[in-house]
Amino acid sequence: MTSKKLLPDLLVSLLLLFSTLYYSFTFIDFAIPPFEDAAMIMRYAQHLAGGHGVVWNIGETPVDGATDFLFMVASAALIKLGFTVGQSVRGIGFASHLLTVLIIYWGNRRIHNGNIFLSFLSGLYLAVGTGLSYVAAYFGTPFFALAAASTWTLGLILMKEQNPRWWLSLAFALSGLVTGLIRPEGVILAGLILLAVILMRGLKDSLSIIFAFGVVFLTLGGAYFLWRWDYFGYPLPNPFYKKGEGGWNWFTFGGSMLNMFRLSLPVFFAFVLGFRARETTRETLVYALPILGFASAFALVSDEMNYGARFQYATVPLALLSWIPLVRGIKFEALIQAQVRERTAYFIALIGLAFGVVYYSWFQNCFLALYQQSCDRPYERDGRLEMAQMLADYRGKGYVIATTEAGLIPYYSGWTAIDTWGLNDQFIAHNGSITVEYLDEYKPHIIMFHDYYSPLVPPKLTDANLAQRWFGMTILLKTYAEENGYTLAAVFGDSPYDTHYYYVRSDFEDSKRLVEQISKFRDYFYPTTGKRSINYANFPEP
């Protein structure tokens, strides 16, 4: 291709990059701290970079609570090079987002021969979507989306090549493997993309691609799988054993499908149009397979920690790389034959529609958290961060905190932490729940948990309530603290129906000082509202 033909695409690519950068520094709040769940991965990356291995607590056995495995490793590598944890995590996410925007533009231009306007609109749709909000919250979601987009792009090329080059099949297989190494569900996505390639090409014409894919996954993927089984002691990431106990769940299936449709709704109509003719129906079904199949797979795990539908976000670049050929061939004779006035009106309407589509993508940033109060800021000031920074003054003293809030407090305090829900604790995840005996092994200096009662609204200890796993866990923690002489330092909340409990053990050097500091803590802003909390521990039970 001559440089003259490339020039328009290069200029549009620069425009896309400039637009993304302008949008990011104008509309994205990078001053926010890590979202609660993102801080867990940061703790693992920090420990790995420090030479302690993939561990939740330094000196303990490895645990794979960071399901974004390759993202964690890449972050740790940058930390080793001298970057801070925050710079590493956000830097990878930001670069991944920019690259995915370019892949969408160039993929549509070169694979589908899409026109410049539609290809640019596709890239811009992703640029202003939720990707940069994940970056701001310190999630590695754009890194996984980049791998998914790369694998799908290579798959689309293989669908069109009559005699695929061996290196292209190898690159496709390696990209699929990387997708699976970043997140475990990436294996499912890579497999679905391979199936889409086979359905489009036919089994006979796909044998070399299947062979390359099988060799890469059986050798490199198999070696990794055996290593991780030996290193962690279990074949699957630790959160799977906690979040996947119920098997197929129609409720989470429905939620996942709604997230998938919501994130890519304008593109969904192109798939509907794809069924208008027999010639495009097969292509529509094949392109929809990895998108619908991947979203369906989340019915196997609970939906907790799904900030801003980040679990389904990888389907967005897949949809944006697939829609243009589905609308090709739609007749626009009326537009071509129209008078100047009519054409002008059509053009203005088309531009307005494009702005509406981009605005819709941006608007998804208003639904990142259930309790989000404005589109400008995804979550409010969080007292758990300030509390953790205060507790960091006691770092290095061997103190232990048992907490349901295993993000900000463990990461910023630097304390040994028991994740009482079990996402970062192999015993709890495999046992099903925390036990008194397990707490006795650690004798935590602080017990902190979140639930929906307080001294003003005592918990109702009915059989139905106790059967709820979260409620039963917090009652066990509360009972353990009260039966072992812990002091109730604080019950923070802006409502007595939604609170954070802090118990302090009474028999260690800094006990009285910690009770005083926690009980008199003035900057505990409740994360769901950003309001200054009331300490309900100062109110007697009714």
CB 425 within 8 A of CB 418: yes
DSSP letter (8 states) at residue 504: E
Per-residue pLDDT, 95: 98
| Burial (CB count within 10 angstroms: exposed 0-12, middle 13-18, buried 19+), residue 470 | middle
* CA–CA distance, 124 with 118 (Å, rounded to integer): 10
- Measured between alpha carbons, how far apart are the two ends of the chain, in Å? 80
For residue 113, give both structure tokens. 């021969």
Per-residue pLDDT, 34: 95
Whose CA is closest to 475, among 414, 509, 446, 434? 434
Per-residue pLDDT, 4: 66
User: Regarding beta strands 416-419 and 400-403, do their DSSP bridges make them parallel or antiparallel, or are they unpaired?
Assistant: parallel
Per-residue pLDDT, 389: 96
Angle in degrees, CA 449, 31, 127, rounded to 5: 110
For residue 145, give both structure tokens. 């989306």
For residue 244, give both structure tokens. 């996947």
* CA–CA distance, 237 with 5 (Å, rounded to integer): 48
Whose CA is closest to 523, among 390, 402, 407? 390
Q: Which residues pair with 490 in a beta bridge?
A: 502
For the chain, state the CA radius of gyration: 26
* CA–CA distance, 127 with 353 (Å, rounded to integer): 17
Whose CA is closest to 443, among 492, 471, 485? 485
* pLDDT less than 70: residues of the chain: 1-4, 244-246, 330-339, 341-343, 346, 542
Per-residue pLDDT, 284: 94
Written as one letter, the residue type at 289 is L
